[in-house]
């Protein structure tokens, strides 16, 4: 097994162990006095949201490489990262309203943070749709959409500080109770690791599919020559 | 005439937006004492959130695994086609490239 393969297997084992350990760390963390047990959603809601930002920037980086240098690897990176953006975005947009229903009394508010997050999720979905149904220019159109998604990220992050919203501000994580920090950072590391593992796996698969398509064309040529 | 109409429409839209924003900003939060709070069970909400998250991640893993299995099948099919075409050199290349990528 290559060094890359060994590293990937180790990451996979650590991620699987994390799934078993982190929930116990979260349960052991103190219960927040105002919100109570519902605050436990925070330990995965926030890491998934931050990783959604990371994957959006990664997708934009890949799209830039594809648009300006014609890099197929960049395009594959953008596709894999955008798919994960949709999955992680769905987790954020489902766990958030579940928390909000209990804490605020409503499932949804059209405030700046929630609306801009939904917009980011829709742009990432738009990327995948443009790739799939956009025809010959679909990949370039999707890459441009990916850049728009990256522009939306700072807006999502700072929206709670700029506009009046029901959502907590960006000061929550820095001012977190020190007894809650180990569980939060462990959950964050786990989510980031899972993202890294899934991104690597998906990119390898996309690379294999591209190689297969090239090989099929080469074999068809070979078969024609032989016949 | 048409340009004037467009400019007038745009100006009216801007004025309406500013007026709405100003009235929204003028509002203040009011504290409501003794408000009746709906009692909702927190464990179910926390459980639902965590269940969705893990199902979404596992769903994506299943999607990738299914594609991986499909790719492996296609690689085997290609190998057979190469053998049939009698391309000994091509066989090594196909196995190396596809195997390395997958």
As averages over each run of 10 residues, the pLDDT of chain A (227 residues) reads 68 81 88 87 94 97 95 95 97 94 88 92 96 90 95 92 83 85 93 93 91 85 78
Distance CA A147, CA A57 (A): 8
Percent of chain B with pLDDT over 70: 68
Which pLDDT tens digit goes with each residue over B17-47? 777 777 766 666 667 676 666 677 888 899 9
Give a yes or no: residue B49 inside a domain.
yes
Give a yes or no: residue B25 inside a domain.
no
Q: How many degrees, rounded to 5, is the angle at CA A29 between CA A26 and CA A35?
A: 95
Enumerate the H helices of chain A as residue ranges. 3-28, 42-69, 72-103, 112-133, 138-162, 181-226
Distance of CA A182 to the CA centre of its chain: 22
Which residue range(s) make up the domain with B51? Answer: 41-102
Residue with tokens 């499909």: B70
Query: What end-to-end distance do the CA atoms of chain B give, in Å?
Result: 65
User: Interface of chain B against chain A, CB under 8 Å?
Assistant: 37-38, 40, 42-43, 45-46, 48-50, 52-54, 56-57, 59-61, 64, 67-68, 71, 74-75, 78, 81-82, 85-87, 90, 94, 97-98, 101-102
Percent of chain B with pLDDT over 90: 15
- Select from A34, A79, A95 the residue whose CB has the most chain B CBs within 10 Å, as the one to mutate to test that interface: A95
Distance CA A47, CA A25 (A): 15
CB A146, CB A127: distance < 8 Å: yes
For residue A36, list its beta bridge partners.
A32
- The rounded radius of gyration (Å) of the Cα atoms in chain A is 21
Which pLDDT tens digit goes with each residue over A46-83? 999 999 999 999 999 999 999 999 999 999 999 999 99
Closest CA to A96 of A110, A85, A107: A107
For residue A32, list its beta bridge partners.
A36
Domain boundaries, chain A: 14-165+178-226
Torsion of CA A111, B21, A145, A45, to 10 degrees: -20
Give a yes or no: residue B19 inside a domain.
no
Give a yes or no: residue B13 inside a domain.
no
**How many domains, in total, are found in chain B?**
1
Give a yes or no: residue B30 inside a domain.
no
Which pLDDT tens digit goes with each residue over B47-90? 999 999 989 998 998 999 899 889 889 888 888 887 877 655 44
Percent of chain A with pLDDT over 90: 55
Give a yes or no: residue B8 inside a domain.
no
Q: Would the CB atoms of B78 and A212 count as touching at under 8 Å?
A: yes
């Amino acid at each position: 097994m290559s060094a890359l393969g060994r590293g990937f297997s180790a990451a996979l084992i650590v991620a699987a162990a994390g799934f078993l350990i982190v929930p116990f760390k979260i349960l052991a963390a103190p219960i927040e006095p105002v919100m109570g047990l519902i605050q436990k959603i925070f330990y995965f809601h926030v890491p998934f949201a931050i990783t959604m930002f990371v994957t959006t920037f990664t997708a934009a980086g890949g799209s830039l490489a594809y648009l300006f240098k014609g890099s197929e690897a960049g395009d594959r990176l953008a596709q894999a990262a955008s798919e994960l953006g949709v999955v992680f975005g769905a987790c954020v947009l489902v766990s958030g309203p579940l928390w909000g229903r209990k804490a605020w009394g409503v499932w949804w508010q059209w405030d700046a943070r929630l609306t801009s997050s939904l917009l980011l999720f829709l742009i990432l979905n738009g990327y995948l749709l443009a790739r799939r149904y956009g025809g010959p220019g679909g990949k370039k159109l999707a890459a441009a959409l990916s850049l728009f998604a990256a522009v939306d990220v700072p807006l999502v992050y700072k929206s709670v500080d700029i506009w009046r919203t029901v959502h907590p501000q960006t000061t929550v994580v820095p001012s977190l109770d020190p007894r809650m920090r180990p569980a939060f950072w462990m959950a964050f590391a786990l989510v980031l690791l899972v993202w890294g593992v899934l991104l690597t796996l998906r990119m390898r698969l996309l690379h294999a599919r591209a190689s297969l398509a090239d090989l099929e064309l080469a074999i068809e040529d070979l078969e024609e020559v032989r016949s | 005439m048409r340009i004037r109409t467009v400019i007038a429409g745009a100006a009216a839209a801007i004025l309406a937006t500013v007026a709405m924003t100003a009235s929204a900003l003028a509002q203040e939060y009011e504290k409501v004492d003794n408000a009746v709070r709906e009692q909702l069970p927190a464990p179910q909400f926390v459980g639902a959130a965590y269940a969705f998250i893990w199902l979404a991640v596992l769903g994506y893993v299943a999607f990738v695994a299914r594609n991986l299995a499909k790719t492996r099948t296609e690689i085997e099919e290609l190998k057979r086609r190469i053998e049939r075409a009698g391309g000994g050199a091509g066989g090594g290349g196909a196995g190396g490239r596809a195997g390395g990528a997958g």
